[in-house]
Chains A and B, each alone.
Chain A
Amino acid sequence: MGKRRRLLLAGVAVAAVTAAASLAASAYGGSKAGSNIIVDGTTGTVVNLDPANQYDYDSFTVDLTMFQGLYGFPNGAKLAPVLATGCSHSKNLKTWTCQLRHNVKFANGDPMTSADVKYSFDRVQKIKGDQGIWTLLTYLKTTTTSGPYTVVFHLTAPDSVWPYILSTNAGYVVDHKTFPANKIVPNTDVKDLIGTGPYQLTKFTPGQQAVLTPNKYYWGPKPKNGGVIINYYSKSSTMKLDLEKGNIDMAFQTFTPTEISAMQKESGLVVHSAPGVVIRYLVFNVKRPPFNSLAVRKAIAYLFPRQDIASRVYHNTVTPLYSMVPKGLPGAIEPYKTLYGAKPSVAKAKAVLKAAGVKTPMSIQLWWTPTHYGDASSDEYIEIQRALDASHLFKVSLKSAEWAQYSGALGKTYGAFQLGWFPDYPDADDYTVSFYQTNSFYNNGYSNKTMDGLIAKERAARTTKSRIKYLEKMQTLAAKTLPTIPYWQGNMIAVGRSDVKGIDSTLDATYYMRFWLISKS
C-alpha cells in the first residue's frame, strides 16, 4: 500500500472518530430527564408491591406513593388519621372503631368504603404471604363493618399501638375489585395494583424502573411534580456517576459514606440529611459463653467506640446511639450513656471484669455480615475490634458470613453478632418489644420476667404518658441487663441536583420518601 494511501486512510479514520464523538457528545448531552418528572435513583430491590406480601423498605418506598392506611404520617413524624378521620377504642384496648373519610376514590375511580378496608385486612391474614407482613396483625382476631364508613377491629389482646399498626403496609387499603382474595398480585400487573395514594403505577420493569404518574382521583393535595421514575441500580458508584451527569435528578438509598463525603464537595449537587430511625446494634446470646457473663457484656459496653465508628467509618452520617430507641422518637432516653458513659473507659471495664474474676485478655468472636448492611460493615467491626484489643482486656476475632447464611444462624450459632433495624412504624414500641420479649426473633436467649411484665403493661397502657413511662423503664432495664448494645442511629440522606426542591421537607424520623413533595425549578 502506498504511503499516500496510508496517510489518507489514517486521516479519514481520525475524522470519522472525531465526528462520531461530537455526535455522541451532542446527542448524549441532550438526553437528560424530562422537565417536570422526577427521576430518582436507588440501589434498592423491589420484592413485592402487593401490600399483602410486602415487608422490605424498597418495596415500601414505592407502595407509599400508591397506597394508604387508616393512619399514617402525612406531615412529618406525627401519627395522624389518613383514610380514617379518627379511631376510638374500648376500655380494654381490644376493640378499635374507626370512622372512614368520605369521598375517597381508588386510582381507577372506584369509591373506597369499609368493605374495602375489611377485605384488605382479611386478605393479608388469609394469604399469609411469604414475606411475613401478616405477623404485624398477630393480635387481630376479626375485622367487621358497620355501614359504609365504619370499621371495627377486634383484637385478641390489648394493643395500645394499634393505630401505628394501621399505618404500616399491613394496613394498606386495596380495591377489592382488583386484588384477588387469596393470591398475591404480581409486580408487573400494574392495572391491578390500585390504591388511594397520590400516584398510580403505570409501568414496572423488575430490576429496572418503576414509573409513577399522578392519581387523577386523589383526594388530597396534588403532587408537586408530573410523575416519578424510580431507576434501580446494582451499584452506588454507577448511580453516583449518573447523578453527577444529570441522568437522574436525585438519589435516595444508598451511597457509601465515602461517596457522600465526595458529593458534599461537588457543585451542582446538594446532600440533604436529617436524623433518621435506622439503627445498628450488637446482639449478645446471653446463654452462650462468654457472653452469658453480665460482667463481660458490661465491659464491652464500657469500651464501645461509638464516636470513632461515627466519625472514622461513617464520616458523621450517623450519630452515636445510647438506646435501642433512636433520638427524636417520643420516649427515647439514653440509659447506655448514663450507665456506661459517652466515651469508652478502659478503667471501668477493667474494674468490672476484675470484680467478676474474669481472666484477661479474654478471647471473643464477633460476627458481622458483608452483604446486607453495606460496605462499611467491615470497617465498623474493625473499629470495634481495634477498641477492644487496645484495652488489653479482650482479644477479638472477627467472623463474617453472607447474609443468606448469617440470617438463618444468628443467636442459634453466634455468641455476639451485628444486626440493624428499620422500624415497622416509627414508635419506641417497635424498638423495644421486638428485641426484649422472651423468644425474640434473633434467638439470643434473653428472657426477663420484669421486662415481659413491662411489655404487657405498655401494650395495655391507655394514655401516652403511661406508655412512655413503661417504655423508659424498658430501656433502662435493657441497659442494665444488656441483651444488646445499640451504637449508631443513621441519618436519612438523599442527594439531589441543585434544581430539585422539596427533599428537606420529607426527611424526618419516619424515613418516608414523600416524592409528591418534590419538584424541579
Chain B
Amino acid sequence: MTGTSLRTYLITRLALVVPMVFILLTLVFLLMRVAPGNPIEASLGGHVPQAAIRQIERRLGFDKPLYDQYGDYLWNILRGNLGRTITDNRPLSQIIEQNGAATLELTFFAMLVAIVVGVVIGLLAGRHRDTWLDVGGRLFGVFVYATPVFFLGLMAQLVFGVWLGWLPISDQASPITQALLQTHTNIFFIDAIWDRNWAALWDIVQHLILPATTLGLVTAGVFIRLIRVNVIRTLRDDYIEAARARGIVERRVVFHHAFKNALVPVITIVGLNMATLLGGAVLTEETFNWPGIGHELYLYLQDRDYTAVQGIIIVFALVVVAVSLLVDFINAFVDPRIRY
C-alpha cells in the first residue's frame, strides 16, 4: 500500500511537470517577441542597410506569422534541439555545458556557505535564545537577507579586494591559470584536481571565496531564521524535557536530539531556495565577472537573442523543477502524510 501511494505520488508529480514547463515555454516565447526589437536589428541596426537587415530577418524566419514561429520553436524543443544562438552562432548545449558548469561551481559552494553559516548561527541563536548571541545572529540573518546581493558583492570587493588586497575581485581564475588549465569537466575546481595542478587549484579557490560567500550569505539569512525557530520549538518538546529529566547532559540533548530534528525542514528549504540561488547567481555573476549562465542570459537579453534566452530559461526552469521534485520525493519518502 505504502509503495503504491508513493509510486502514485511520484507519477502524478512528474506528470504535473509537463504542463508547468509548457506554460513557461509559451510565456518566454511571447515575452521575447512582445519586447520591441529583434536580434538582427540589435546587431546590425545603425550600420547595415535596411534592405540587408530585412533579408536576414526573412532568412531566419522572423517575418513568419507568430504561430508559425511558435510551432517551429515547440517542435525543436520536443526534438531536444535547443538550437544555436542567433548573435554568435553558439550551440545552446555548449552554453549549458561551459557556462552552466561555472554557475554550478558557484552555486554549489554558495550553498555550502549558506548551509554552514546558516546552521551554525541558527543553532547558536536558537540554543542561546534572548542572549547577545541570539540577537546578533538574528540581526545578521536579516541584514544579509535584506541586502541586495550585488551591493554585498561590491562591498566585499571593496573591503577584501581593494582595501585589504587579500582576494581577487573577478573571474573564475587569473588569466594565465585560465589560459593554461586543461578542460575536462568545465568546472575549474574539479579540472585543477584532475590535473593535480595545485597552484591552479589555489588560484581558483581564492577566486571562489568572494562570489560564493556573497551569494551564500544571502541564502544563509533564510536558513538562520528557520533553524533558529526550529531549534527553539524542538527544545520545548516533551521528549527533550524527558531527556533532561533523565539527567542527559545538555550538550547531548541539544546536538544529539534537538538539532537533528530541527534540521529536517532545512532539506525542503534548500530545494525551495534553489530558485533564489539561481536568481542571485545572475547578479553575482555580473558583479564578479563570473562567466556563468546567468551572465550569458543578461548579455543575450540585451541582444534580444530569442534562441539563447529561451534556451537558458528552459534550463533554469528544468533545474528548479528537478530540484523541487527531488525535495518533494524525499519529503514524501520521509513523511507518508505527504502523498496523494
Binding site for B on A (CB under 8 A): 21, 24-25, 27-29, 31-34, 37, 39, 45-48, 53, 55-56, 128, 130-132, 135, 184, 186-188, 203, 205-209, 211, 229, 231, 233-235, 238, 241-242, 245, 247-248, 371-372, 401-410, 419-420, 439, 441-443
Q: A135 to chain B: which residues have CB within 8 Å? A: 48-49, 52
| Set A206, A229, A442: member contacting B176, Cβ < 8 A | A229
* Chain B residue with Cβ nearest A242: B170
Residues of A within 8 A of B3 (CB): none
Neighbouring A residues of B86 by C-beta, 8 Å: 130
Picked from A53, A371, A406, A408, the residue with its CB within 8 Å of the CB of B89 is A53
How many interface contacts (CB-CB < 8 Å) are there between A and B?
179
Chain A nearest CB: distance from B306 CB in Å?
11
In the complex, the answer to whether A235 meets B286 with C-beta atoms within 8 Å is: yes
CB of B335 within 8 Å of the partner chain: no
Question: Which of A135, A187, A371, A442: most chain B Cβ within 10 A?
Answer: A135
Contact of B48 among A208, A401, A439, A441 (CB under 8 A): A441
In whole angstroms, what is the CA distance A229 to B178 when docked?
Answer: 10
B166 partner, pick from A21, A32, A53, A187, beta carbons under 8 A: A21
Chain A minimum-CB-distance residue to B200: A31
- The minimal Cβ–Cβ distance linking B305 to chain A, given in whole angstroms, is 9
Within 8 A of A (CB), among B32-59: 35-50, 52-53, 55-56, 59
Bound Cα distance from A241 to B165, whole angstroms: 11
9-residue interface stretch from B16-24, B228-236, B289-297: B289-297
Is B60 at the interface (CB under 8 A from chain A)? yes
* Residues of B with C-beta under 8 A to A209: 175, 178-179
- Contact of B203 with A by CB under 8 A: yes
Q: Is the CB of A410 within 8 A of B45?
A: yes
> For window 111-137 of chain B, which residues contact chain A by CB distance below 8 Å?
none
CB distance from B218 to the nearest CB of A (A): 20
How long is the Cα–Cα vector from A407 to B40 in the complex, in angstroms? 10
A405 close to B171 (CB less than 8 A)? no
Q: Is the CB of B179 within 8 A of A203?
A: yes
Interface-side segment among B75-83, B156-164, B271-279: B156-164
Choose one: B41, B162, B174; the contact of A404 (CB below 8 Å): B41
B56 and A130 contacting across the interface, CB-CB below 8 Å: yes
Q: Does B302 contact A (CB under 8 A)?
A: yes
Contacts of A238 in B (CB 8 A): 157, 169-170, 288-289
A104 to B272, CA, bound (A): 61
Identify the 10 closest CB pairs spanning chains A and B, nearest first.
Answer: A407-B45, A404-B37, A408-B41, A405-B36, A404-B42, A132-B48, A405-B37, A404-B304, A238-B170, A31-B174
Sample 11 A-B pairs with CB under 8 A, ordered by A number: A55-B44, A130-B86, A131-B44, A184-B89, A207-B99, A231-B171, A234-B299, A241-B162, A406-B45, A407-B41, A410-B46
A286 → chain B, closest Cβ, in Å? 17
Q: Which residue of chain A has its CB nearest to the CB of B53?
A: A132
Q: A186-B89, A247-B174 are in contact. Are A371 and B45 (CB under 8 A)?
A: no
Contacts of B45 in A (CB 8 A): 403, 406-408, 410
A245 to B206, CA, bound (A): 15
Taking CB atoms, residues of chain B closer than 8 Å to A53 are 89
The chain A residue with its CB closest to the CB of B305 is A404
Give A25 to B55 CA distance when docked, in angstroms.
56
| Interface status of B331 (Cβ within 8 A of chain A) | no
Give every chain B residue within 8 A of A401 (Cβ-Cβ). 36
Max count, chain A CB within 10 A of own CB: residue among B45, B53, B286, B291: B45
CA distance A117 to B94 in the complex (A): 32
Residue of A with least CB distance to B39: A404
Contacts of B38 in A (CB 8 A): 404, 408
Question: Which of A188, A405, A441 contacts B94 (CB under 8 A)?
Answer: A188
What's the Cα separation between A245 and B45 when bound, in Å?
38
